[in-house]
Amino acid sequence: MLFVVIGPPAAGKSTWVNERAVPGDIVIDYDRLANALTALDAAPHGHKRPLATVAFRAREGAINEALRHVKDHDVYIIHSVPKQSAMERYEKAGAEVVTVDPGRDIVEARCAAERPEDYMRGVKRWYGSGLRQRPAPRPAPPQTDAPHGAAPRPATGSRAW
């Protein structure tokens, strides 16, 4: 199953994925990739060129390969504001689009406290009047009381929400 997780910066997209993905699932997260490609003590967000360029290209390669495996593996792609062409590609692969958005006030407070200053531009872009069209939001599936990774996997290999 393919899950495409969208939402503004600092909305909790990575947290949403981390609470559901289990070992063996494929998780494509730009920040994880960028952090894997730099020194251990580097800032976790706000990557600059050339690191950002290398991480984006690695992410695109990972997405290309992962889309070949969605029939027999769960794949999570965090893609904050995908272009229409990316959404069409994901939909063709049978994506379940999950919008994580706790609200602008919460996102702005998190960005101010936890992210580089320029992340507010991403917040404004997400909530703005349409620099990019976004898919209609779908509510996140309800959470279970099971500990992380303990939810049983149905026979199909995808999550039972």
* Bond before 50 cis per omega within 30 degrees: yes
10 Å Cβ neighbour count for 108? 18
Higher pLDDT, 82 or 29: 29
**Tens digit of each residue's pLDDT (9 = 90 or more) over 28-38:** 999 999 999 98
Q: What is the pLDDT of residue 18?
A: 96
H-state helical runs in 5-159? 13-18, 30-36, 51-66, 84-92, 104-114, 119-127
The overall average pLDDT reported for the chain is 82
Q: What is the pLDDT of residue 130?
A: 42
CA angle 33, 3, 102 (to 5 degrees): 85
pLDDT exceeds cutoff 90 at 146: no
**Tens digit of each residue's pLDDT (9 = 90 or more) over 37-80:** 988 877 677 777 899 899 999 999 999 999 999 999 999 999 98
Q: What is the pLDDT of residue 78?
A: 97
